[in-house]
Amino acid sequence: MGKKRIISKTEKELLEEREKVETAVKKEIKVKVPQKIKEGKIYISSSYNNTIITLTDPKGNVLIWKSAGNIGFRGTKKATPFAASKVAEAMGEAAKKLGIEKVQVLVKGIGSGRESAIRSFATRGLDITSIKDITPIPHNGCRPPKVRRV
């Protein structure tokens, strides 16, 4: 196998490397939210267990997300339409603070909170331009297992 050599760097090289890493981290942290966003997209992911709502800018960068568990619901109460409407109300207030007026709503999943969340957005005063269902649908599925021979 041979001898293993341990390469040690000088203090100067370590400081330079550390500065490079810190500048890279600062660049990643400086994701600015433009002050004058008027439009956005709202993704509603509704499952049997929870409702997650995400607000993005038109490009798809996440601005805010909220879920029923994040609001304070626990257990089976997270999957109720009431919890979904409360999440939508909180998200509507956050969107107003960011200055978003027009939204496209994209709904995914088969949970019970889909319609109540959309209704809550409408009552909060957000201008809904379109509602689209993006629930994934299997076309033919996996190949079935071969026939069992006994």
Burial of 95 (0-12, 13-18, 19+ CB in 10 A): buried
- How far apart are alpha carbons 143 and 126 in whole angstroms? 45
Which one has a higher pLDDT value, 10 or 114?
Answer: 114
- Residues 23-41: tens digit of each pLDDT: 766 554 444 555 678 999 9
Considering the entire predicted model, what is its pTM? Answer: 0.72
Mean pLDDT over residues 102-108, rounded? Answer: 96
Structural domains for the chain: 39-133 (3.30.420.80)
DSSP H or E stretch at residue 109: strand 102-109
